[in-house]
Amino acid sequence: MRYSALLRQSLMPFVDIIYPPRCPLCGEAVASQSGLCSPCWGSLQLPGQPSCMLCQAPLDHTAVIEGAICAPWMLQPPQHDGIAAGTLYNAPSRQLVLDLKYAGRIGLAAMMARLIAARLPEMRGEWLVAPVPLNRWRLWRRGYNQAALLAMEISKLRSLRYEPVLLHRTRHTPSLGGMGREQRKKTLAGAIAVKPSQAAKVKGSDILLVDDVLTSGATSSACVNVLKKAGARRVVVGCFARVLPENGQAQR
């Protein structure tokens, strides 16, 4: 065990005395600082079976054969090589995302990353873990990139190589909420790129791209496209919460 982990473990009882563990969703007492209470765990909606082999979207028919693909991807195969979602987007998962992103509760990243890691496929060989990049001004205002926190935690859990700056935003883009599919695509065109200094790392690599929420997929698709154009062999998208079209949620 690393020294930092030993130190953290030794200090945890004192932290618990000063700051008694509370569920981050409802405030009830919990056993440790890194989890939810039982009712709140039960309120999270986890991807189940049967589901699409590529994106984990639930499939209606219980007799679907293993390896089935949902209709949208059958009509237009994606550029990505699979989506791994820790949860499906609902009120509790939305609250955790908002708390991580806007309330400065960065301690949630470890728990949220564990849920993503549990849904990842077997990843043999050397994979790179990269976050969806945040615009420099948003990063300056917020102080951190929530996707980078999740990516870093996943890299530890899976013993993968963390690469925080493979991608960068070339210009500021407005919020994509309320935009149609074509408008989102146009807004993101050319806004995300592989950093020139990182191009050699991307070529021929298998990459896990991490974000907090996957809604319309416009942002992740833009990232996947530039990674594949730069020579990435495979790109799997990992996210904490996956918005399904039937949920009727706003698209990003």
pLDDT tens digits, one per residue of 56-81: 777 776 556 666 777 776 777 788 99
Where in the chain is CATH 3.40.50.2020?
A: 46-247
Q: Return d(Cα 28, Cα 36) in angstroms, integer.
A: 9
Residue with tokens 């998962």: 93
Residues of the chain where predicted confidence (pLDDT) is lower than 70? 1-19, 31-34, 61-67, 73, 245-252
Complete edge-to-edge strand list for the sheet that includes strand 127-131: 83-88, 234-242, 206-214, 127-131, 161-162
| Alpha-carbon separation of residue 132 from 21, 118, 181, 215 (angstroms) | 31, 20, 19, 14
Predicted TM-score (pTM) of the model is: 0.85
Q: What is the DSSP letter of 29?
A: B
- For 101-111, write each residue's pLDDT tens digit: 999 999 999 99
- Looking at domain 46-247, which of 3.10.450.50, 3.40.50.2020, 3.40.50.1000, 3.90.245.10 is its CATH number? 3.40.50.2020
